[in-house]
Structure 1
Amino acid sequence: MVQDKRVQASAVATPRPDRNQIERIRFAISTLLERWRVPEDVIVSSTAVLVGAGTGLGAVLFIWLLGQIGQLARWTRGQVGDVVGILGFMAVAGAIVGFMIDRWAREAKGHGVPEVMEAIAMRGGRIRPPVAIVKVLASSLTIGAGGSAGREGPIVQVGAALGSTVGQLLRFSDDRVRTLVACGSAAGIAATFNAPIAGTIFAMEVILGSFTVHYFGAVVISAVSAGIISRHFLGDRPAFLVPAYPMNHVLELPIYVLLGILAALVAVAFIRLLYRTEAFFDRWQAPLPVKTSVGLALTGLTALLLPGRQVLGPGLELIGETIAENFNMSLGLLAALLVLKLLATCWTLGSGNSGGVFAPSLFMGAILGGMVGNTANSLWPQVAANPGAYAIVGMAAVFAAAARAPITAVLIVFEMSGDYKLIFPLMMTTVLATLLAEHLFSESIYTLKLKLRGISLQRGRDVDILQNVTVGEVMSQEVNTVPKDMTLTELSDMFSRTRNHGYPVLDENGKLWGIVTITDLEQAIADNRPRRTTVAEIGVPRAQLLVATPDESIGEALARMGTRGLGRLPVVDPRDPDRLVGLIRRSDIIRAYNLALARRAELQHRAKRMQLRNIDGTEFVDITLDADSPVVGKTVQEVAASLPRECILVSIRRQGKMLIPHGHNVFQPGDRITAFTRSSDAEALRQCLQKKAPSAQPVP
């Protein structure tokens, strides 16, 4: 027994020397850097080279794995037949992918770039190291088996995870860690597509959301390092070779305008369908390996509809061949390729398999451009002489419209094709498609995933944190008001006595008449107004007044205040717009921001705590309430007694906002509730929230 205890004690203590060793290495590096007084630029540049080289090697390994798994897939088809080989191999590969993601790294699910953007905006760039390994293996299986996905998203996430890991090991600040994450992202694009310039711009435009000299140097160094490694092992050829198509005639410009409009429509359809497919699989109460297996099997079935199985894999080789042949394909075949590629990509990624959206966007853009080019060539052969040129432009336009990254799209198509002669129609069509897509649908294919989690990014930062705090929670209810017939002398005395800068004005019936500020008083004095002048003569009347309601978010109220530079906003009853119920001031905005930060921290803490408790026999459950749900209209406190005993409500997602459940929260139709409960109680929880009225006693 004593020996057993010693063995157990030894086993428990085993990891400690490893952690101590890491700490000693960190301390030694920090000491050397301080002793030698190494400049910050040298430190950042050196780590950027390390991250770039490591990402380049990771890309080489990833591409090699893709080739090996692709060979295994082709061998399987040769042994058991084309149909059985495709469906069977893809189903098995999907099941393995789902198991790895579910078991070791949920962040590896999907196309990966939104997770990197979230890490930069919300967690100081910190990404768990296992994500890189799982992402490489899962994406290799997904794409190698034939899944309709690109390899750029996985490598971006791998490079970002490597940069984050290096920054965390060296105990860098959040700003330095973010820089290394951007370096890894740029290196991923540079190594995968042999496009270091586009990789740099992608990291600045999409990942960071800003162009600053502070980040630019390190990102360039990292992209160049990855490009050198990639070219050494994989060669310096572009992703595909195409003829140098010139712009044939000035009358082609209206055709390119039409292509830009169609590209925006295709991109928006791609975004919507992809996330609707993902929502469908999320609602399906099945283990993730089952979902990913079914998703890849459906991708295989979609590919079988075409004799050449052209929708399998990224499809860049097919695009290169068809562009080189000037898109000598029938219009019907091109339309079938476009629709089936869209479906295959949504099945692959929407079900939870791992891969990128970059290559599928390029594929669909090239097909769309080929359709426009072939049609124009058949109608005006002297004007639209080269359908392949429209395919090159279409690639950039669809990706730019989907990702809202026009600069990246222009540069990456230029670098991948090596063709500069189409730069003018390429730029015009890409920008047009991006602007139109932005008008039709505000979120990109990357930011929509974060928006559904309650995170709204602008220039790489979360600007929607105040959307989760309502005006009624922080408004001042004890408000000093003035009557509309108060004179300037009385108003001046009141400003001096209270030191406020503005007051709501009420009429003789106690209704909101308007508002008066100290600026209005100063202007009246400057205009030599008589002292008997009333507030009604200098204030802002109700018809010109911006107001808020208690149930709207602070973010919406702040946006309204910003349009006119207001320092306060009257809060009125939504059922009686002339009844004043409170006032929002700048100090209330600060309090609301602190409250929002506390709520977000609480939500993150709950998620981490739930992950620690997520052992066998427990699970997360997502439930969407409809209008007929028995809990709609009731508070969390009223429903709590009927919930299963071992159940915790983690969050309520409502109209793109993430709420932390509290007793006073009222359930509404469309609420998506995330709960943590025992697997045996999952059905009882659904019955409680969706199908039957809650009882007075807890569910055993």
Structure 2
Amino acid sequence: MLLAVVVGAGTGAGSVIFRWCVTTFTRLFSGHPDYAAAPGAGNPQVPWLGAYFVLLAPVIGGLLYGPLVNRFAKEARGHGVPEVMLAVAQRGGRISPKVAVVKTLASALTIGSGGSVGREGPIVQIGSALGSTVGRVTKMPEGRMKLLVACGAAGGIAATFNAPLAGVFFAMELVLGTFSAEAFGATVLSSVTASVMGRAAFGDRAFLNLPGFHVDHLAQYGLFALLGMVAAVVGVGFSRLLYLIEDACDWLWRGPEWLRPAVGGLVLGPVLLALPEMYGVGYPVLQKAAEGGYATGFLLLLLVGKMLATSLTIGAGGSGGVFAPSLFIGAMLGAAYGIGVHHLLPASGGAVGAYALVGMGAVFAGAARAPITAVVILFELTGEYSIILPLMLAIVLATAGSRLLTRDTVYTLKLRRRGIDLEKAAPGAPVGPQRVGAVMEPLPAPLAAAGTLAEAADLLPLSGHGALPVIDESGDYVGVATAQAVAEALTERPETAPTSIGQLAEPPGAVTADQSLVQAMPVLLSAAGTGVPVLDAECGKPIGWLSHQSVLRAVHRPVA
């Protein structure tokens, strides 16, 4: 817990430095604190260039951060979150400490020189690298190291966006991929610490200032649901375009990698000249769209432009996140959709800004498939609770639609393209690729659901497992009864205590014989006893038992 606070404090300080670097480099390259707030203006430092300075800014920025990334930390290229997910899933949470420094400078230079990317990927990678470094210095075991990496990610999101809850759920949903009381407690401490430092530096206010919205008619829920389904298609389309352009850049480029960002800047510059709203993160443009400040045609142009500009920035070797671009794209989609609805149904359409806000969360959910994070972060970024019900509806539908369209998210697709599947064992790992059915033990004698606690107390110590499967009178599997649950029940007052074993049975996560060990390990590690039943994939009845010992035995014997 103390280390979680230390990581949160360090990440909070890192986020302050990072945002200062972004602002400083933006002023240096554009002459404005945020050029998206003054699109088309010239750089007062070089007034004779006028708005044409955007043709040179990405090239100069690329010449600065290209060699930096190529020489010191190649993993700092791109949007960062996939690298953190990989470090947690297959590398024991180990991230090089130099990534934090290189990522700070490279991402700040990318955004400051016009790169159309976000701040969340960099700060997540920066905070995670800090958490990993703290874990290694204090010689933490692998499990705690991963948790400290997640603490860094949570603190980064919290401090950067003034969103402490969103930081916690981002870390657990996307980085750890699991929820537990220990992980929640540690990430909350880190997130709160980092958020306090962020608020001290940037103030305690919502990241976006939007007018209040509310749902006037029940029919609007149907309109929001349709927006969620459209957002799923747009979110998946953004992911595909991002990597399609990256593939094209890989195929076309034949020169040294350190020069690639500068040459890519020659292509990005004309896009920024035609659409200066694409310069940098673009939050002023996003807010204006949510306030109804653009026409439908221009909103759709901004949507397509953001997809293209972000893809070109990443494909050219830039460093920055895709979270903010997905919010931008969602706001443009939602605002255009809201204007259309308002024209078609003026009496029941509702405010355009409400659709923009819902679109932001839904497109992010469609791209990243992180519904809890999407709901929480939109609430914290805007401070707008009145729109929570349609927001939840659209986000859930966008997540479901995304899952139907593709198995990958905008984060996991980057890894799969490199031959890495987070759901499979790490290449060369001695445990993971084996099938559960090949290493499981015989099923221990089950307990009867109608049996008494006294019978369970007699049988559990003799089993050697600390837990046993429970079946009912018809032979159907009910769950697992643990020695801990029985012991706790026996300490209760007789009139309030459970009377049968079936009342204590709880089914753990399903493990089937055809699964690989890497898929079954999370269930086994989180089980209360020393093992879990292995179920038949077709009928759902227990046919074997998977324990920690049987997993270890798989290393020392050939498995079919």
Identify the TM-score tier after normalising by the shorter chain: 0.7 to 0.9
1:73 to 10, 22, 29: 29
TM-score by length of 2: 0.75
Amino acid in the other structure paired with 1:47 = L
In structure 2, the partner of 1:53 is 9
In structure 2, the partner of 1:260 is 228
**In structure 2, do the counterparts of structure 1 residues 136 and 213 end up closer, same or farther at CA, with 3 Å as the change threshold?**
same
In structure 1, the partner of 2:158 is 190
In structure 1, the partner of 2:358 is 393
- The answer to whether the aligner puts 1:348 opposite 2:313 as a matched pair is yes
How many Å apart are 1:431 and its aligned residue?
A: 0.5
> Which deviates the most, 335-344 or 378-387?
378-387
> Which deviates the most, 253-262 or 423-432?
253-262
For the 8 Å contact 1:239–1:416, the answer to whether it is kept is: yes
Q: Deviations over 1:556-589 (max 9, x none)?
A: 9xx9974567999xxxxxxxxxxxxxxxxx9xx9
Amino acid in the other structure paired with 1:226 = A
Report the secondary structure of 1:228's partner residue: helix
> Which deviates the most, 79-88 or 54-63?
79-88
Report the secondary structure of 1:77's partner residue: coil
Root-mean-square deviation (CA, aligned residues, Å) is: 3.6
Amino acid in the other structure paired with 2:397 = L
Report the secondary structure of 1:181's partner residue: helix
- The answer to whether the aligner puts 1:148 opposite 2:116 as a matched pair is yes
In structure 2, the partner of 1:216 is 184
- The answer to whether the aligner puts 1:426 opposite 2:399 as a matched pair is no
How many Å apart are 1:300 and its aligned residue?
A: 2.3
For the 8 Å contact 2:56–2:269, the answer to whether it is kept is: no
In structure 1, the partner of 2:271 is 302
For the 8 Å contact 1:466–1:554, the answer to whether it is kept is: no
How many Å apart are 1:330 and its aligned residue?
A: 1.4
User: How far apart in 2 are the matches of 1:109 and 1:452?
Assistant: 15
Q: Deviations over 1:442-498 (max 9, x none)?
A: 11111112222333235x986997999799xxx9xxxxxxxxxxxxxxxxxxxxxxx
**In structure 2, do the counterparts of structure 1 residues 470 and 291 end up closer, same or farther at CA, with 3 Å as the change threshold?**
farther
For the 8 Å contact 2:55–2:273, the answer to whether it is kept is: no
Structure number with the bigger relative contact order (C-alpha 8 A, sep ≥ 6) is 2
Report percent identity of matched pairs.
Answer: 45
Say how many residue pairs are matched: 460
For the 8 Å contact 1:132–1:158, the answer to whether it is kept is: yes
How many Å apart are 1:74 and its aligned residue?
A: 1.7
**In structure 2, do the counterparts of structure 1 residues 382 and 184 end up closer, same or farther at CA, with 3 Å as the change threshold?**
same
Amino acid in the other structure paired with 2:43 = R
Amino acid in the other structure paired with 1:329 = Y
**In structure 2, do the counterparts of structure 1 residues 590 and 407 end up closer, same or farther at CA, with 3 Å as the change threshold?**
closer
Task: Structure 2: give runs of 5+ residues left out of the alignment.
Answer: 32-41, 439-474, 476-512, 520-533
Amino acid in the other structure paired with 2:2 = S
In structure 1, the partner of 2:283 is 316
- The answer to whether the aligner puts 1:368 opposite 2:322 as a matched pair is no
- The answer to whether the aligner puts 1:173 opposite 2:129 as a matched pair is no
User: How far apart in 1 are the matches of 2:58 and 2:107?
Assistant: 13
Q: Deviations over 1:590-640 (max 9, x none)?
A: 79975999xxxxxxxxxxxxxxxxxxxxxxxxxxxxxxxxxxxxxxxxxxx
User: How far apart in 2 are the matches of 1:560 and 1:342?
Assistant: 45
Report the secondary structure of 1:62's partner residue: helix
For the 8 Å contact 2:173–2:373, the answer to whether it is kept is: yes
For the 8 Å contact 1:277–1:351, the answer to whether it is kept is: no
In structure 2, the partner of 1:692 is none
In structure 1, the partner of 2:523 is none
How many Å apart are 1:554 and its aligned residue?
A: 10
User: How far apart in 1 are the matches of 2:180 and 2:266?
Assistant: 45
1:232 to 180, 197, 200: 200
Q: Deviations over 1:515-556 (max 9, x none)?
A: xxxxxxxx9xxxxxxxxxxxxxxxxxxxxxxx99xxxx9999
In structure 2, the partner of 1:414 is 379
How many Å apart are 1:287 and its aligned residue?
A: 1.6
User: How far apart in 1 are the matches of 2:376 and 2:140?
Assistant: 32
How many Å apart are 1:84 and its aligned residue?
A: 3.8
In structure 2, the partner of 1:617 is none
For the 8 Å contact 1:246–1:422, the answer to whether it is kept is: yes
Report the secondary structure of 2:102's partner residue: helix
For the 8 Å contact 2:431–2:554, the answer to whether it is kept is: no
User: How far apart in 2 are the matches of 1:155 and 1:591?
Assistant: 38
How many Å apart are 1:380 and its aligned residue?
A: 0.8
Report the secondary structure of 2:233's partner residue: helix
Report the secondary structure of 1:91's partner residue: helix
Report the secondary structure of 1:124's partner residue: coil
Report the secondary structure of 1:304's partner residue: helix
For the 8 Å contact 1:281–1:291, the answer to whether it is kept is: no
Report the secondary structure of 2:56's partner residue: helix
Report the secondary structure of 1:153's partner residue: helix
Report the secondary structure of 2:386's partner residue: coil
TM-score by length of 1: 0.61
User: How far apart in 2 are the matches of 1:431 and 1:464?
Assistant: 37
User: How far apart in 2 are the matches of 1:52 and 1:69?
Assistant: 25
